[in-house]
Amino acid sequence: MQLDFGKRRLDLSRPVVMGILNVTPDSFSDGGAYPDPALAAARALQMVEEGAAVIDVGGESTRPGAAAVDGDSEIARVVPVIEAIRGSCDVPVSIDTSKPEVMRAAVAAGASFINDVRALREPGALEAAASLKVPVCLMHMRGEPRTMQDAPEYDNVVSDVMAFLAERVDTCLRAGFLRERLVLDPGFGFGKTLQHNLLILNNLQRLTEFELPVLVGISRKSMIGAILDRPVDQRLYGSLAAATISLLKGASIIRTHDVAPTVDAVRVVTALGATQT
């Protein structure tokens, strides 16, 4: 399995790691850690050296209760960072956004992947992403980030996530997307209780039925904190356990704050020949 970036392809015959780079003041784990482009680019290069195959740059926090950010402010945060990274290495850069104007600005600056928690449902996002012709990750989310954890309910969370992603894939294909440029994310922690998250993790192999790469973003999330009763900065080992389970159930891309230890986990699972990709 490969992910088509146009001029290059990302080989997913073995799982890869996506490094998280939040250039925000309020993200739940690393908000405010990289206040200028030089620091952010240095962190990106560090993650590449640790084995990250993609760097995911985000300029707006999607944690529950986070303040909304307008498009111009988000562009001002992410574009200089993307340009700095692209000037230093050729590893693909992903833009974590739902806004069409940010997608266009980020791709113009050198991003080659769109990671959208709203699965291209914002006005103009589908058309923008289709015109940019870069890979897109479609994530499941119930509700909006700022209120998504207000008592989320499902008839059957696994079936509901599958149905949502099937609809979004169909919508993208009808809009002219190539299948080789679509990635799926079940959206751990986005409008889901701990029990919902555990059910999805236990049935993650169902998403491989789409025959598309599956991205898992579970690093340091509240579900890990709820299981372990530990704060954000003490969730590494739980995150690695969840990442390993995800790999065993067919995940192709692991999105993480902790690149080096996650790369080690990927290598061990891959060496065993235990992944389903």
Total tally of structural domains belonging to the chain:
1
Q: If pLDDT is split at 50, 70 and 90, which confidence band does 274 have?
A: very low
Of all residues in the chain, the percent with pLDDT exceeding 90 is: 74
Could you say which of 43, 220, 221, 249 is catalytic?
221
Of all residues in the chain, the percent with pLDDT exceeding 70 is: 90
Question: Does residue 95 fall inside a structural domain?
Answer: yes
CATH of the domain at 235: 3.20.20.20
Average pLDDT, stretch 117-141?
96
Q: If pLDDT is split at 50, 70 and 90, which confidence band does 2 have?
A: confident
Q: If pLDDT is split at 50, 70 and 90, which confidence band does 46 have?
A: very high
| 144: phi then psi, degrees, rounded to nearest 5 | -115, 150
Q: If pLDDT is split at 50, 70 and 90, which confidence band does 218 have?
A: very high
Q: pLDDT at position 40, please?
A: 86
Q: Is 80 helix (H, G, I), strand (E, B) or coil?
A: helix
pTM of the complete model: 0.91
Q: Is 85 exposed, middle or buried (0-12, 13-18, 19+ CB in 10 A)?
A: buried
Q: If pLDDT is split at 50, 70 and 90, which confidence band does 24 have?
A: confident
Question: Does residue 277 fall inside a structural domain?
Answer: no
Do β-strands 113-116 and 136-139 pair in parallel, antiparallel, or remain unpaired?
parallel
Contact 114, 129 (CB under 8 A): yes
Contact 194, 163 (CB under 8 A): no
pLDDT at 200 over 70: yes
pLDDT at 275 over 50: no
Could you say which of 77, 168, 220, 255 is catalytic?
255
Question: Does residue 276 fall inside a structural domain?
Answer: no
pLDDT at 1 over 70: yes
* 249 catalytically annotated: no
Q: Which of 136, 131, 196, 194 is nearest to 165 (CA)?
A: 136
pLDDT at 277 over 50: no
Measured distance between the N- and C-terminal CA atoms of the chain, rounded to whole angstroms = 8
Q: If pLDDT is split at 50, 70 and 90, which confidence band does 4 have?
A: confident
pLDDT at 245 over 50: yes
pLDDT, tens only, 145-159: 666 566 678 889 999
Other beta carbons within 10 Å of 147: 12
The boundaries of the domain holding residue 66 are 2-271
144-152: long-range contacts, CB 8 A cutoff, minimum separation 24:
145/62, 145/63, 145/64, 145/66, 145/117, 145/190, 146/64, 146/65, 146/66, 146/68, 147/64, 148/64, 148/190, 148/191, 149/64, 149/191, 152/191, 152/192, 152/193, 152/196
Average pLDDT, stretch 77-90?
92
pLDDT at 65 over 80: no
Q: Is 39 exposed, middle or buried (0-12, 13-18, 19+ CB in 10 A)?
A: middle
Contact 52, 18 (CB under 8 A): yes
* 86 catalytically annotated: no
253 vs 257: CA distance, rounded Å: 13
Write down the mean pLDDT value for the chain: 90
Question: Does residue 250 fall inside a structural domain?
Answer: yes
Q: pLDDT at position 127, please?
A: 97
pLDDT, tens only, 247-268: 999 999 999 999 999 999 999 9
